Structure 1
Amino acid sequence: MARLLQVGLQKALGQPIVIENKPGANSLIGVDQVAKSAPDGYTFGVVIAAYAANTTLYPKLPYNPGKDLVGVSLMGISPLVAAVSTNAPFKTTQELIAYAKAHPGKVSFGSSGSGSSAHLTTELLKLLTKTDMTHVPYKGAAPALTDLMGGQIPLFLDPPPNLIQPAKAGRIRLIGVASDKRLAVLPDVPTFAEQGIPELMGSTWAAMIAPAGVPKEIVQRMSAEVARIIRSPEISQRMQQTMGTFAEGSTPEECDRFIAAETAKWGKVIREAKVTLD
Structure 2
Amino acid sequence: MAFHTKHLISSSLAILLSLTGLAHAQEKFPSRQVTLVVPQAAGGANDAIARVVAQKLSDQWGQSVVVENRPGAGGNVGTAYAAKAKNDGYTLLVNADSAQVINPFLYAKTGFDSVKDFEPVAPLAKAGYVLVANPSLPANNVAELIALAKSKPGALSIASAGNGTLNHLIGEMLQKATDIQLQHIPYKGAAAAATDVVGGQVPLSVQSMPSSIAFIRSGKLKVLGVVNEKRLAALPDAPSIGETVPGFGATPWYGMFAPAGTPKNITLQIQNDIAKVLDSKDVQERLATLGCETFKGTGDQLAQIVKSDMVRWAKIVKDSGAKID
Q: Deviations over 1:95-147 (max 9, x none)?
A: 11122222222111001121111111111101111222111111111211111
**Partner amino acid for 1:258?**
I
Give the Cα separation in 1 of the matches to 2:216 and 2:128: 17
- Structure 1 CA distance for aligned equivalents of residues 109 and 55 of structure 2: 37
Which residue number corresponds to residue 55 of structure 2? 7
Identity %: 34
Q: Quick one: distance in 1 between partners of 2:246 and 2:291?
A: 19
Please list every run of 5 or more consecutive structure 2 residues that lacks an aligned counterpart in the other structure: 1-48
Structure 1 counterpart of 2:275, from 227, 235, 238: 227
Residue type of the partner of 1:248?
F
Give the 3 Å change call, closer, same or farther, for CA 265–215 of structure 1 in structure 2. Answer: same
Change (3 A) 1:79 1:201: farther
From 286, 302, 307, the counterpart of 1:238: 286
Structure 1 CA distance for aligned equivalents of residues 60 and 221 of structure 2: 43
Q: CA deviation at 1:89?
A: 3.3
2:156 and 2:318 map into 1 onto residues whose CA distance is: 22
Structure 2 counterpart of 1:17 = 65
Which of 1 and 2 has higher RCO (CA within 8 Å, sep 6+)?
1
Of 183-192 and 5-14, deviating more is 5-14
Query: For the Cα contact (< 8 Å) 1:183–1:244, is it kept in 2?
Result: yes
Letter in 1 for 2:321: K
Q: Does the 8 Å contact 2:159/2:187 carry over to 1?
A: yes
Aligned to 1:205: 253
After TM superposition, the structure 1 = structure 2 runs for residues 131-146 of structure 1, keeping only pairs within 5 Å, are 131-146=180-195
- Aligned amino acid, residue 305 of structure 2: F
- 1:159 alignment partner in structure 2: 208
Q: Which residue of 2 aligns with 1:262?
A: 309
Residue 271 of structure 1 pairs with residue 309 of structure 2: no
Q: Secondary structure at the match of 1:174?
A: strand
**Partner AA of 2:127 in structure 1:** S
Residue 65 of structure 1 is matched in structure 2 by 114
The reply on whether 1:249 has 2:296 as its aligned counterpart is yes
Q: What is the SS of the residue equivalent to 1:46?
A: strand
Q: Distance in 2 between matches of 1:212 and 1:174?
A: 41
Structure 2 match to 1:217: 265
Match for 1:82: what amino acid? L
2:129 counterpart letter in structure 1: L
Secondary structure of the residue aligned to 2:91 is: coil
Cα contact 1:121–1:200 (8 A) shared by 2 = no
Letter in 1 for 2:90: Y
Larger deviation, residues 69-78 vs 164-173: 164-173
Q: CA deviation at 1:201?
A: 1.8
Alignment of 1:179 with 2:228, yes or no, is: yes
SS, match of residue 153 in structure 1: coil
Provide closer, same or farther for how the CA distance between residues 99 and 28 of structure 1 changes in structure 2, counting only shifts above 3 A. Answer: same
**Alpha-carbon distance in structure 1 between the residues aligned to 2:66 and 2:136:** 46
Aligned residue for 1:44, secondary structure, equals strand
- Considering only aligned residues, what root-mean-square deviation do their CA atoms show, in Å? 1.6
2:79 to 28, 31, 48: 31
SS of the aligned residue for 1:19 comes to strand
- Distance in 2 between the 1:199 and 1:231 partners? 31
Task: Tell me if 1:119 matches 2:168.
Answer: yes
Per-residue CA deviations over 1:156-194 (Å, capped at 9, x if unaligned) read: 111223323323333221111112221121111111122
Q: Distance in 1 between matches of 2:176 and 2:278?
A: 34
**Kept in 1: contact 2:213–2:291 (CA 8 A):** no
| 8 Å CA contact retained: 1:88, 1:151 | no
Cα separation, 1, equivalents of 2:215 and 2:130: 13
Distance in 2 separating the partners of 1:124 and 1:182:
18
Aligned residue pairs total 276
Give the stretch that moved more between structures: 197-206 or 76-85: 197-206
Q: CA deviation at 1:79?
A: 2.4
Write the distance in 1 (CA, Å) between the matches of 2:133 and 2:110: 35
**Given the superposition, is the C-alpha separation of residues 153 and 75 from structure 1 closer, same or farther in structure 2, using an over 3 Å criterion?**
same
User: Residue 10 and residue 107 in structure 1: after superposition, are their counterparts in 2 closer, same or farther (change >3 A)?
Assistant: same
Q: Report the CA distance between 1:263 and its aligned residue.
A: 1.6
Find the counterpart in structure 1 of residue 35 from structure 2.
none
